[in-house]
Amino acid sequence: MIYDVIILGGGPAGLSAAIYAGRARRSVLLIEKGAFGGQIIQSSGIENYPGSIERESGESLTGRMSAQAETFGAERVTDTVTGVLPEGKIKTLTGAKGKYEGRALIVATGAAPTRIGCPGESELTGRGVSYCATCDAAFFEGLPVYVVGGGDSAVEEAVYLAKFARNVTVIHRRDALRAAKYIQDAAFAEPKLSFIWNSAVTELHGDGLLESMTLKNVKTGEMTVIEADKADGTFGLFVFVGMSPMSELFDGLLDTENGYILTDEGMATNIPGVFAAGDVRKKLLRQVVTAAADGAIAAARAEKYLADLHC
């Protein structure tokens, strides 16, 4: 079958595109490699999506978006796409489960958490090192927890982790947070939360579990080793140092800047019939509300592209 619209990525941008394209009576295939909902499913409570006044979880909000996309006829498949031929009138994607063909393609692959990139990080991921507070906070009930980063994610999740941890220490490479003022206010008001400023994590150590880490004061060069209490044996390290766009599949095909796909305001890329929406796109503000808006615009533009082709 040749679909009118194939959407790659099942986060808020992809789901919103599926709702709009499905509602325009287009045949839609939504392909997602992991869980539908995107990275926001890791968020414990969303308070800035318009209408969300009850701090609904990301999983619940995107669950409703998924159900809505289905009511408009969007088909969904879980597959990892490894090849793409986006030029020409039929766009072809190849995944582990098969080949998918569509007349228009909306790329909504999102972004993934950036790693610190220090020795020991890969080996200790899932063994003390985490990139998702909602997923892993409960494992650190009553233990000390450290958070790396100074942006919205780091500070917001540090406040959330304080509900579980014995105490939470935010390690930031500067002496000022990047996080929004209202998020900072919540952090400074949290008695279990403290900060280590001007510091970077340079090495993680542990035999099976995270047991100690080395910090470097980036101003003085002083190195400090933080060790787990003997009684605890371990501690948690949550890393929130930004996101990297998941655009590798389109390397050399789509125009990008620092990996983020460049589009016009109609979400059109440099290839006719290929649109990009959400966090994978170069844009000013990466939020659920802007991802959903991108998806709606991309679907509307895809509709116009198909109509112009008399499809």
| Footprint on this chain of ligand NAP (rule: CB under 6 A) | 48, 116, 148-154, 156, 173-174, 178, 200, 240-243, 286-287
Characterise 9 by phi-psi region: left (phi > 0), alpha (psi -120 to 50), beta (else).
left
Separation between Cα atoms, residue 298 and residue 265, nearest integer Å: 9
In the complex, minimum distance from the CB of residue 84 to ligand NAP, in angstroms, rounded to a whole number:
26
Q: In this complex, which beta carbon is closest to ligand NAP, that of residue 104 or of residue 261?
A: 261
Cβ neighbors of 288 (< 8 A, separation 6 or more) are: 12, 40, 46, 49, 58, 61
In the complex, minimum distance from the CB of residue 176 to ligand NAP, in angstroms, rounded to a whole number:
8
Q: In this complex, which beta carbon is closest to ligand NAP, that of residue 23 or of residue 173?
A: 173
Half-sphere exposure in the Cβ direction for 132 (13 Å, CA): 14
Taking CB atoms, the residue at the shortest distance from ligand NAP is 151
Separation between Cα atoms, residue 293 and residue 296, nearest integer Å: 5
Q: In this complex, which beta carbon is closest to ligand NAP, that of residue 5 or of residue 170?
A: 170
In the complex, minimum distance from the CB of residue 162 to ligand NAP, in angstroms, rounded to a whole number:
16
* Residues designated catalytic: 132, 135-136
In the complex, minimum distance from the CB of residue 17 to ligand NAP, in angstroms, rounded to a whole number:
20
Q: In this complex, which beta carbon is closest to ligand NAP, that of residue 200 or of residue 300?
A: 200
Strands 75-78 and 28-32, sheet pairing: parallel
User: Distances from the Cα of 58 to the Cαs of 41, 62, 295, in angstroms?
Assistant: 4, 6, 17
| Tokens (6 digits) for 213 | 């880490």
Q: In this complex, which beta carbon is closest to ligand NAP, that of residue 41 or of residue 241?
A: 241
In the complex, minimum distance from the CB of residue 239 to ligand NAP, in angstroms, rounded to a whole number:
8
In the complex, minimum distance from the CB of residue 64 to ligand NAP, in angstroms, rounded to a whole number:
19
Separation between Cα atoms, residue 105 and residue 122, nearest integer Å: 34
In the complex, minimum distance from the CB of residue 130 to ligand NAP, in angstroms, rounded to a whole number:
14
| Tokens (6 digits) for 165 | 């941890």
Separation between Cα atoms, residue 193 and residue 205, nearest integer Å: 24
